[in-house]
Amino acid sequence: MKSAFNKMLGATMILGASFFAQGALAQSANCSYSISNEWNTGATGAITITNTSTTAINGWTVGWQYATNRLSSSWNANVSGSNPYSATNLGWNGSISPGQSVSFGFQIDKRGGSAERPTITGSICGGATSSVATTSSSVPASSAPASSVPASSSSVAVSSARSSVASSVTTGQQCNWYGTLYPLCATTQSGWGYENNKSCISRATCTSQPAPYGVVGGASSAALSSSSVASSSSVASSLALSSSSIPSSSSTPSSVARSSSSVAVSSSSIASSSIASSVASSVNGVSLKALADFPIGVAVRAGSEADSILNSAQQKAVLVQHFDQITAENIMKMSYVHPSEATFSFANADALIEFARQNGASVHAHALIWHEDYQVPSFMKSYSGDFPAMLKTHVQTIASHFSGKVVSWDVVNEAIAENSDSSAVNGFRNSVFYQKMGVNFIDQAFIWADEADPVADLYYNDFNTETNDAKTTRLLALIDGMKTRGVPIDGVGFQMHVLPDWPSIANIEASFRAVAQRGLKVKITELDVRVNNKYNSSAPVYTSLTPAAAAAQSERYRQIVAAYLRAVPAAQRGGITVWGMWDAQSWFAKDPDWPLLFDNSFQPKPALQGFANGLTGQ
């Protein structure tokens, strides 16, 4: 350690000496521009600032200009201007320790051109040392009015936000994963891991990504010479920027300093105007995933399903902006991956997982065992051989195949009976699995899954367990028993397909709390919030998503997310996943209902703002 440190110090001194010998100020940061996704009309990308100096940067501003492209939204920075653009840090990502990086993201309209990669300018990028604090007056701010930027990403400036500079435990390095920074895993050797309550990426997987992605930050990059920095996978070759390349501007960035209060769009104000337009201006700059230090997931379709995310630039852009985890809504269920005893079919799931990997999302896998009739492979229903052996092969073949590629599994889904289920046996659903193995099938499934994938978090997943009623009691008895028997369960998934007025927030919170108090992780796995309660004849009936319905739904989302944060300690938050990206995709769309965060035109709904406000405690 000591010699490595000395080596680094030496290299830093040599690097510094060479700058001073040239009579120039030492480089303080590398500022790079990367494209993470590109489609016909647009692209998403990130600007990454890596502190290559030996002192902290406190506050930063960068600028850039396109020939043809224009910004359509941004997140994790205050962006102003209308080409050129200027971006300053938010409250939580302003300080960059030596060797660390921060990134902020954006979506561009290509305007008929290709995705450009402009030079990033700014005093921190181009020659001032970090000890020369970046002040407003030194900023190459645009003189263009800020109003032409569609949304201020200042709305994500909250203290609870995940810092994009979270560093790996041991090295201070991170992985630039297609524009999003993740910690490097300390112990996981390949694929994705989950350490210290965060998704992390193994060094091997990170370093095998194409430039400009890969490992960033840390002592090694701080000590690199300019040529080696430029050739590393992590940063663009911006080291050679001189201050002359900074666009001159006489304006100060006063227009940049927008208030973070823009996130606080109250639901009542939303209700009084057109839903999409009233919200779009405030939420375009929000990134849900940036507001949480746990996974924010979405269920997606793939394979041969209509609406496959793999063929949808719109879905891809929303994914990249808001979510850092996906669940396959269907294509990883039993009958899809194991249609007949001798056939396992992984191609569609593999393609989706690869897509997730390329777009900075981890994968929560769903589900190894589920009673639902159409999802139980028909060969299992009439199996006459050794059922436990067959089921073990099912679980272990699938879990081994995806080991290292998924971060968690719903191992058993919906085994506990509904309160009204007259065919229940001992409180359990009378499924083929229960009939063949009794309740032991649950324990065994977890034991088998753990053998096949010792790293992934293993969840028991169910619905109507957030009710704090008899079904919740049966859930608690099940997990208490599993823990007593030493079964390797890591967490409980609450599906949370909730109604507008049921269950109560108090009951939801109590249910989360009861599981959290048992030391398990709590994950909201399939969240959707319907606006109609068809089981309550006195509830209002909405035949379209009116402003009032949208406002009530927004508030419900806010309260659910807030309850989750109150009830579940940070270390036990497995994340929150919404069950679909936009209303037309919801499995309740046919009711009709509008339970998700984006409307049928893909516009963000007040629900998105409610979710964000829940995360930020507003």
Please report whether residue 464 would count as binding ligand XIL according to CB under 6 A.
no
Positive or negative torsion for Cα 408, 413, 416, 420: positive
Please report whether residue 468 would count as binding ligand XIL according to CB under 6 A.
no
- Taking CB under 6 A as the criterion, the residue among 65, 262, 413, 616 binding ligand XIL is 413
| CB closest to ligand XIL, residue no | 587
Residues 6+ apart with CB under 8 A from 406: 192, 353, 362, 363, 364, 365, 453, 456
CB 390 within 8 A of CB 451: no
Among residues 443 and 526, whose Cβ is nearest to ligand XIL? 526
Report the distance separating Cα 131 and Cα 124, nearest Å: 10
Among residues 490 and 526, whose Cβ is nearest to ligand XIL? 526
Least CB distance to ligand XIL at residue 468 (A):
20
Closest CA to 410 of 395, 421, 429: 395
Whether 372 is a known active-site residue: answer no
Please report whether residue 495 would count as binding ligand XIL according to CB under 6 A.
yes
Site of tokens 């398990």? 520
HEC profile for 15-78?
HHHHHHHCCCCCCCEEEEEEEEEECCCEEEEEEEEEECCCCCEECCEEEECCCCCEEEEEECCE
Among residues 26 and 416, whose Cβ is nearest to ligand XIL? 416
> For strand 57-58 and strand 95-96, is the pairing parallel, antiparallel, or unpaired?
antiparallel
Catalytic-labelled residue, pool 116, 329, 526, 555? 526
Least CB distance to ligand XIL at residue 249 (A):
51
Among residues 579 and 611, whose Cβ is nearest to ligand XIL? 579
Least CB distance to ligand XIL at residue 127 (A):
54
Mask for 277-316, x = binds ligand XIL (CB under 6 A): ----------------------------------------
Residues 6+ apart with CB under 8 A from 50: 29, 30, 31, 32, 96, 99, 100, 101, 216, 217, 221, 234, 235
Cβ neighbours of 538 (radius 10 Å): 5
Among residues 444 and 495, whose Cβ is nearest to ligand XIL? 495
Mask for 369-408, x = binds ligand XIL (CB under 6 A): ----------------------------------------
Residues 6+ apart with CB under 8 A from 389: none
Please report whether residue 457 would count as binding ligand XIL according to CB under 6 A.
no
Please report whether residue 234 would count as binding ligand XIL according to CB under 6 A.
no
Of residues 9 through 68, those in contact with ligand XIL by CB under 6 A are none
Please report whether residue 584 would count as binding ligand XIL according to CB under 6 A.
no
> How far apart, in Å, do the first and last CA atoms of the chain sit?
45
Least CB distance to ligand XIL at residue 579 (A):
6
Please report whether residue 431 would count as binding ligand XIL according to CB under 6 A.
no
Among residues 181 and 531, whose Cβ is nearest to ligand XIL? 531
Catalytic-labelled residue, pool 116, 329, 414, 555? 414
Q: How many chain residues bind ligand XIL (CB under 6 A)? A: 7
Least CB distance to ligand XIL at residue 429 (A):
13
Among residues 299 and 399, whose Cβ is nearest to ligand XIL? 299
CB 61 within 8 A of CB 104: no
Please report whether residue 466 would count as binding ligand XIL according to CB under 6 A.
no
> For strand 29-38 and strand 362-370, is the pairing parallel, antiparallel, or unpaired?
unpaired
CB 217 within 8 A of CB 99: yes
Whether 526 is a known active-site residue: answer yes
CB 193 within 8 A of CB 200: yes
CA 101 vs CA 123, 245, 308: distances in Å: 16, 22, 34
- Taking CB under 6 A as the criterion, the residue among 324, 329, 490, 528 binding ligand XIL is 329
Please report whether residue 589 would count as binding ligand XIL according to CB under 6 A.
no
CB 26 within 8 A of CB 53: yes
Report the distance separating Cα 286 and Cα 292, nearest Å: 12
Residues 6+ apart with CB under 8 A from 323: 288, 289, 296, 297, 298, 361
Please report whether residue 205 would count as binding ligand XIL according to CB under 6 A.
no
Among residues 502 and 587, whose Cβ is nearest to ligand XIL? 587
- Taking CB under 6 A as the criterion, the residue among 37, 188, 321, 330 binding ligand XIL is 330
Q: Crossing angle, helix 547-567 and helix 606-616, to 10 degrees?
A: 20
Token digits of residue 272:
């009084």
Among residues 413 and 468, whose Cβ is nearest to ligand XIL? 413
- Taking CB under 6 A as the criterion, the residue among 587, 589, 592, 603 binding ligand XIL is 587
Interface residues toward ligand XIL, by CB under 6 A:
329-330, 413, 463, 495, 526, 587
Active-site positions? 414, 526
